[in-house]
Structure 1
């Protein structure tokens, strides 16, 4: 699942790589050249994404992922559970997010 717009929400969902599919990851919040803010993830389970990142907050090319709330988000059996990533180009940043 990829979220690319501010104010987006993902809730009450379980995602699973059933095995053999080699999925690259679970949830990507992609602030590539745009600012994403006020996102909400609630009651989300990301399971068995052993080929990638379970929850990826990514800022690139002057983009941002900020002021978002993550409530009861669980990642199980992932190559990387949660990754906060900024490429640093033109002040891209990931910050001021809340995990409950």
Structure 2
């Protein structure tokens, strides 16, 4: 729940708290990405452009539902997914060797 802040310092404290939660969730998501590498046959399965578009459509809908900017949400998710694909490609390659 968003509270009305009385100062820039308070706003920054709230953002810092959210950043801690967000990074924790990124770490959790990354752990699942690492597990997914075991189940994919090749680098095309890792890249999975159709799955990326499914995720983007889903999070845009969630953004609208939850009051977030859908364009910002999409941009953040595309950047995050691209980074996770790189991580997963490296892990997939390591598993294949």
Q: TM-score when scaled to structure 1?
A: 0.27
Higher helix share: 2
Higher strand share: 1
Which one scores higher on RCO, CA 8 angstroms, separation ≥ 6?
2
Flag the structure with larger Rg. 2
